Each structure stands twice: as C-alpha cells, then as structure tokens.
Amino acid sequence: MEVIRAKRAGACYGVQRALDVADEVIAGGSRAFTLGPLIHNPQVVADLAERGAAAVKDVEAIAWNGEGEAPSVVIRSHGVTPEVLSDVEERGFAVVDATCPHVSRAQHAAAELAAEGCRVLVVGEEGHPEVEGLTAWARQAGGKVDVVADPADIPEGLYDPIGVVAQTTQRRENLQAVVAALREAGLDPLVRDTICSATRQRQEAAAELAANVGAMVVIGGRNSSNTTRLAEVCALTCPRTFHIESADELDPAAFKGCARVGVTAGASTPENQIAAVEAFLKTL
C-alpha cells in the first residue's frame, strides 16, 4: 500500500513557537505552568507536564506564597482574555506569552472593530478558548459581541456597523457564508479575514490529496479545532477518513483493498507522531 503525506501537514509556526517557548522555560529550571493545555495535543501536553510545565485550569490553581522565584506562567497558543492576563500579572507571576501571532492579530482586529463602534460577530466555536479570548478583547474595547458558528446563528435585528472576525482555524467557506448572509440581509459588514494561512494551506492540501486516495488518516487531538476541520474537509471527497490521535488507534482491516492512503495532520501535531503513523501504515 502506498502512503502519501499531504504537501502541508503538521505543526504550524505558531504551535512550534509555543513549544519552543515552553522548552526554553523548562530548560531554565524555574517552576512553570501553562494556563490550560499549551496546544490541543494530549500527548504533547502530557510530555510537558512530565518535564516540568503542567497545565492548570486557572491562575488560582498555582500555589505560591510570594517568596522566592516567581513561577513562570506560559500563556498558551490560543491566547487568554485580557482579564486573565491582568490577573496573572497582578499576582506577580513571570508571564511568558506563547500566544500564536495569528491569534494575537485576530484579538487586535476584534478590539479595533469594537473600538470603531461595530457590533462584532466572531465566526467560530462557542466555548473554544481562542473564541473566548476574541470575544473578551472586543468587549473590553466596548463592543457588543456575538459568536456565530454558521449563518443560522446570525442574530435578528442587526444594523450597521457590523464587524466580522473569524477564529483562526475556521474553514474559509464558513466565513464567506456568514458574510454573504449578512450582505443578503442588506448589511455592509467590515470583515477582517483572520483565518491563518497555515490552516488554509493544510485544508487545501488535504482536500487535494483526499480526492486521489482510497483512505485518509488525519492525525491530531480530538479537542483540536483545526484537526477536526481537516477531517471534515477530507471526508467530503474521501468517505473512508479516520481522525486519530496515535497509530495505536488504526485498525488494519479498515484499509482492506486500499492501494493508496493519504496522511495529513493538524497544526498541533508534531513530526514524531506523523512519522509513527506513516511507519505503521507502511507495514500493512
């Protein structure tokens, strides 16, 4: 069976940057914590915890009496709300910002639209940490904010000015559909295209490969938005699409009669995890 990797797959710049930042903190020997998982990859998060950078739910979970060296708090790649950032600083922790630059750009865009008087629509997943951050930055700037997963979520009674930003890992077609629906309703939204290039490139490469293989394997955390989107994109043209976190989940019987299998991975998936899956598939 031929195993083909998508032209674009695996850890993006923002994720690799966050991992490098965390590695530097750990190497420095100071107590370190990440606010929530640094990236949406359970295996990587577990490895960081073993090496000295445990994920905590919130700032209150970090015990420190104010004496000695302050623990380092690594802001995860999805970013945090301005309130959380202020809380970390006020408690005297050493702040290490590993927010993905694309997420930071989206936060600034949401805040700028709100400051300009727009009601801000965030196209994304309600409850996702990145989306919570985007809405919080817009509200801090004085704006009213709504999260919409698709055109059906658009609130009634909207009027200009309307601003639109997107969770960086959203499918571009979804953002375009929301904007089209707003324009059909007679509105003239100010759109900030905040979908990151890495997400778009991975989706396009995955779609191209999925159309030419008998099965697709998508590697990445099940809590990873961008990996979930990749699996959805692949399934559109390749019904035999499998979203897995590790090679252990693969069932050889699922690839019976398959001459070519494609492999792609989310932006939070490191190279060693991709290589392990490819190695297993090549034994079939």
Whether residue 68 is predicted with pLDDT greater than 90 in this model: the reply is no
- For residue 198, name the pLDDT band (cuts at 50, 70, 90): confident
Q: How far is CA 167 from the centre of its chain?
A: 8
Active site residue 130: yes
Catalytic residue among 112, 130, 132, 245: 130
Residue 104 marked in a binding site: no
Residue 77 marked in a binding site: no
Average pLDDT, the chain: 94
Residue 100 marked in a binding site: yes
- Asked if the domains at 2-10+197-281 and 13-100 fall in one CATH topology, the answer is no
Residue 128 marked in a binding site: yes
pTM of structure: 0.84
Report the top-level CATH class of 102-191: alpha beta
Taking the C-alpha atoms of residue 166 and residue 149, their distance in angstroms, rounded to an integer, is 10
Token digits for 40?
Answer: 């949406």
Pick the CATH number of 13-100 from 3.30.70.141, 1.10.10.10, 3.40.250.10, 3.40.50.11270: 3.40.50.11270
Give the pLDDT confidence of 90-124 residue by residue, as tens digits: 999 999 999 999 999 999 999 999 999 999 999 99
Residue 225 marked in a binding site: yes
pLDDT confidence of residue 226:
87
pLDDT confidence of residue 284:
87
The residue type at 97? D
SS (H, E, C) the chain: CEEEECCCCCCCHHHHHHHHHHHHHHHCCCCEEEECCCCCCHHHHHHHHHHCEEEECCHHHCCCCCCCCCCEEEECCCCCCHHHHHHHHHCCCEEEECCCHHHHHHHHHHHHHHHCCCEEEEECCCCCHHHHHHHHHHHHCCCCEEEECCHHHCCCCCCCCEEEEECCCCCHHHHHHHHHHHHHCCCCCEECCCCCHHHHHHHHHHHHHHCCCCEEEEECCCCCHHHHHHHHHHHHHCCCEEEECCHHHCCHHHHCCCCEEEEEECCCCCHHHHHHHHHHHCCC
Neighbours of 23 (CB within 10 A): 13
> Where in the chain are the domains?
2-10+197-281, 13-100, 102-191
Assign a CATH topology to domain 2-10+197-281: Cobalt-precorrin-4 Transmethylase; domain 1 (3.40.1010)
Give the pLDDT confidence of 156-191 residue by residue, as tens digits: 999 999 999 999 988 888 999 999 999 999 999 999
Taking the C-alpha atoms of residue 73 and residue 61, their distance in angstroms, rounded to an integer, is 11
